[in-house]
Amino acid sequence: MPEEYVILVNEEDREIGQLEKLEAHRLGLLHRAFSILLFNEKGELLIQQRAAHKYHSPLLWANTCCSHPRPEEPLLEAATRRLYEEMGMTAKMQTGFHFIYRARLDQGLIEHELDHVIFAYSNQEPKINTNEVESYKWISLPDLLKDIEDYPHAHSAWFKIIMHDYLEFISKAAYESV
């Protein structure tokens, strides 16, 4: 498997370098990422359970898809590529907002990302890549919020931040899908 590189950025999202992905997570350096929130026409969010063998956060529930754009790859192209690689889907997408977070993960890794949240819309059923995704489900926002409250350790760090701190934006995006 070839090495993957992430784009190191400053707090204004200006590129300041590149580094091998795992090394960036070992050192906790700020890098560009994206998180896709895909809604269907019922306003339900598609979430995934990360595959058991992922190098961090295995078997945790997370947003529809998340990853890092490759060097020189535009954000929405990266999101389109990764949604198809992980979930076997295509979707209409639009950028939403971005935020910076830092979280200690398992395996001694640190996730320090400038995360671009992308809203996507589709009624397709996923054809998951089992190398990336263990399981998936469509869920209403109220049911998801209750699940995160009842089982916080079952959800990824970044997903909990997105759902807690940016619920107003997410609720509006879900409503637009209906």
pLDDT at 173: 87
Structural domain harbouring 52: 5-177
The larger pLDDT score, comparing residue 175 to residue 121, is at 121
pLDDT at 2: 67
Catalytic residues: 66, 113
Query: At 110, which CATH number?
Result: 3.90.79.10
Q: What confidence tens digit (pLDDT) does each residue in 168-177 have?
A: 999 998 878 7
The DSSP-derived string for the chain is ----EEEEE-TT--EEEEEEHHHHHHHT--EEEEEEEEE-TTSPEEEEEEPTT-SSSTT-EE-SEEE-PPTT--HHHHHHHHHHHHHS---EEEEEEEEEEEEE-GGG-EEEEEEEEEEEE--PPP---TTTEEEEEEE-HHHHHHHHHH-GGGB-HHHHHHHHHSHHHHHHHHHHH-
Number of domains in the chain: 1
Q: Is the pLDDT of residue 82 over 60?
A: yes
Q: Is the pLDDT of residue 1 over 60?
A: no
Confidence of residue 106 (pLDDT cuts 50, 70, 90): confident
